Amino acid sequence: MKLNEAQIEDLTGKVFRTIVSNGKGGILQSELWKELDLTSRDGSRVAIRLERRALIRREKMLENGRWTYKLFATKLPIDTSSVENAPCLTCPVEHMCSLDGSYSPITCNLIEDWLVLSLNMANQQRRQQEQHQNHHQAPASETEEEDPAK
């Protein structure tokens, strides 16, 4: 089935959003085609179109003995999550706040509480990721014992 220009643009947007959602790590072309149910031909055409627009870069690489491309977004959206809940954004005295004023970020309890909470949450997420990684990695001694050839 031949795609019309509107369908190609829609597909181009979907492909680009998928590449961006994979972040700095990028995505293999073959994984992207499977995820979006595309033929290799259509997918390659869209990737080349995005590359010509300088929205992505394609890096040739050897994967499982076959040459393929890994696709990366040239620019990723800025992550604002670290400042989204900053108390300054909703502070009723923000307009009077200054380093040498009676309201100062140096002595602000709201900022201090927000920083402590943010650090605690970041540490908790890091610990959970470490536990998840440790849980899914088999120790070398276990894999050696399971090998009946030894």
- Helices 5-21, 29-36: inter-axial angle, 10-degree rounding: 120
Return averaged pLDDT per consecutive 10 residues of the chain, 150 residues in all.
80 94 94 92 92 96 92 88 85 92 92 90 88 69 49
Q: Which residues contact 55 (CB under 8 A, 6 or more apart)?
A: 16, 73, 74, 75
CATH number of 5-73: 1.10.10.10
Q: Where are the domains of the chain?
A: 5-73, 87-135
Q: Which long-range contacts (CB under 8 A, 24 or more apart) does 118-127 make?
A: 118/82, 118/85
pTM equals 0.55
Predicted local confidence at residue 52, as pLDDT: 96
Predicted local confidence at residue 84, as pLDDT: 82
Predicted local confidence at residue 74, as pLDDT: 95
Q: Do you know the residue count of the chain?
A: 150
Predicted local confidence at residue 109, as pLDDT: 93
Predicted local confidence at residue 139, as pLDDT: 55
Q: What is the C-alpha to C-alpha distance for residues 136 and 121, in angstroms, rounded to an integer?
A: 23
